[in-house]
Amino acid sequence: MVSPPTRYLVFFQYFGTKYSGVMQTSNDQSVLGVQNYLEKAAQNLKPVVPIKFCISSRTDAGVHALCNSAHLDIQRAPGKPAFSEKQLIYSLNYHLKPEPIRYLNVPAMQDAAQFLLGTHDFSTFRSINSETPFQSPVRTILQADIRPSSGFLSHHYEHRGLEFWELKFRSRSFVYRQVRRMVGALVAVGQGKLTPLHIKKLLEIKDARAFPPNAMAPPSGLFLKSVEYDEADLDATVGPGE
């Protein structure tokens, strides 16, 4: 006796840059839709009937989604129990690993961030500008944390369980675009494009040209949180004209 299909509602997020939009396209097209990859991943669940994602909201080519949703029916072979929520999410994420349609691997990012702590030559993590020949690439990172954050948009998604993460760095000073490069490299680790050991190797190379292309984080998500002073700095007097 064939068991009836089980219906699931799933929430997913994606960077839309490489896709024609969220909706399915013909597989012979050069640029595919997010739905193509979702359904390809779902077939690894070995359903009796091919799984179709009914997408709730269309997005155009290049558009990202913090949280889209779809429902799908999964019919398993006789005697096979329905997937639990955790089993389904784990399996879909696993088979979407090459695609930016899944959660970042935060523990790997946290491991990688530890290599940035302390005093290092950050030549690989700086962009070249006119001042580069006159500045030392050596900097000391006092704090490199990756932790859950409330996020600016979290109040819109409380019922959907969307996670926001904050990357926080503290240092006396940074080289040009160092923070954007560190963030971009750590995100690449979270996406599985780099491993934590790659961060260590990038530090050891000491060459700005060795930084992975297109890995620098955009400036729009970067904030200067605060400027701190030592008591000695505050007590120092400055003479006229200095």
Task: Give pTM, 2 decimals.
Answer: 0.58
Distance (Å) of CA 167 to CA 69, 100, 171, 183: 27, 19, 14, 7
Cα distance between residue 1 and residue 163, in whole Å: 41
pLDDT digits (tens, 9 = 90+) for 53-104: 998 888 898 888 877 888 899 998 888 888 888 888 888 888 887 777 654 7
pLDDT digits (tens, 9 = 90+) for 98-131: 777 654 788 889 999 999 999 999 999 999 888 8
Residue type, 236: A
Closest CA to 53 of 82, 24, 29, 27: 24
The confidence score (pLDDT) of residue 191 equals 80
The pairs formed by 213-221 with CB atoms below 8 angstroms and a separation of 24 or more are 215/181, 215/184, 215/185, 215/187, 215/188, 216/127, 216/177, 216/180, 216/181, 216/184, 217/180, 217/181, 217/183, 217/184, 217/187, 218/180, 219/180, 221/183
> Above 60 in pLDDT, residue 159?
no
Catalytic residue among 28, 60, 121, 207: 60
Active site residue 60: yes
Which residue in the block uniquely carries the two structure tokens 């997937």?
83
